[in-house]
């Protein structure tokens, strides 16, 4: 089946989040899709949905050093088996984009799933590099998200105050421009970056 943005948007535009995620992971992009997350306070919902569908689904962890403990706790709790830490040498957005681009190429990924839920955000989009971005929670309100998270038994997030991002970008805002390829001096992905639980 040909994968085109227009076909995906037309066919899946009315799908609810769990069904859309299932279709993307099990059918449209089976073996070529990963979740993109920083393991912040809201990450558990989408990660738990994905774990229910296929715990083998790769997870790309934008690790800025502030969420590692919670990431391990949630990974173990959900039974996710392939979490890849992305840790660029610099905190600038361009370094994160290059690291993500490298990971997508190295893993042969065609699509990434994000937790983006802003009003007006499309459920399925295509970035400048031809990578599909799947946004199952697009259009959800904060109340809807909180309500769904309350139904799931997830480890409590350790921070109770405002979340302060230590240097990494919000994964929902991380887009890869066609002109922004991997940095020439970027370190290769390390085998230790994959957690097996």
Q: Mind listing the pLDDT tens digit of every residue in the chain (197 residues)?
A: 568 999 999 999 899 999 999 999 999 999 999 999 999 888 999 999 999 999 999 999 998 888 888 999 999 999 999 999 998 776 677 888 889 999 999 999 999 999 988 878 899 999 988 999 999 999 898 899 889 988 988 888 886 444 434 444 555 555 433 333 333 333 333 333 444 33
The number of domains in the chain is 1
**Does a structural domain hold residue 182?**
no
Of residues 190, 178, 195, the one with CA closest to residue 98? 178
**Does a structural domain hold residue 128?**
yes
Torsion of Cα atoms, 116 then 117 then 119 then 123, to 10°: 70
What does the alpha-carbon distance between residue 155 and residue 73 come to, in Å, rounded to a whole number?
7
What does the alpha-carbon distance between residue 16 and residue 35 come to, in Å, rounded to a whole number?
17
Query: For residue 122, what is the domain's CATH number?
Result: 3.40.50.620
**Does a structural domain hold residue 193?**
no
**Does a structural domain hold residue 71?**
yes
**Does a structural domain hold residue 16?**
yes
Torsion sign over Cα 197, 38, 140, 127: negative
* Element (DSSP H or E) covering residue 68: helix 68-78
Range of the domain at 9: 5-153
């Amino acid at each position: 089946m040909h994968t085109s943005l227009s076909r995906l948007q037309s066919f899946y535009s009315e799908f609810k989040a769990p069904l859309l995620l299932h279709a993307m992971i099990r059918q449209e992009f089976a073996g070529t899709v990963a979740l993109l997350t920083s393991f912040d306070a809201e990450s558990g919902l989408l990660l738990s949905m994905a774990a229910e569908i296929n715990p083998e689904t790769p997870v790309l962890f934008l690790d800025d050093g502030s969420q590692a403990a919670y990431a391990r706790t949630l990974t173990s709790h959900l039974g996710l088996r392939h979490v890849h830490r992305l840790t660029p040498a610099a905190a600038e957005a361009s370094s994160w984009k290059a690291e993500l681009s490298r990971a997508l190429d190295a893993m042969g990924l065609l699509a990434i799933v994000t937790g983006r839920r802003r009003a007006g955000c499309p459920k399925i989009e295509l970035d400048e590099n031809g990578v599909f971005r799947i946004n199952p929670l697009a259009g959800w309100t904060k109340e809807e998200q909180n309500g769904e998270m309350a139904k799931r038994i997830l480890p409590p997030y350790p921070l109770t105050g405002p979340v302060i991002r230590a240097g990494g970008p919000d994964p929902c805002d991380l887009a890869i421009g066609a002109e922004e390829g991997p940095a020439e001096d970027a370190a290769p992905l390390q085998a230790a970056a994959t957690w097996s639980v």
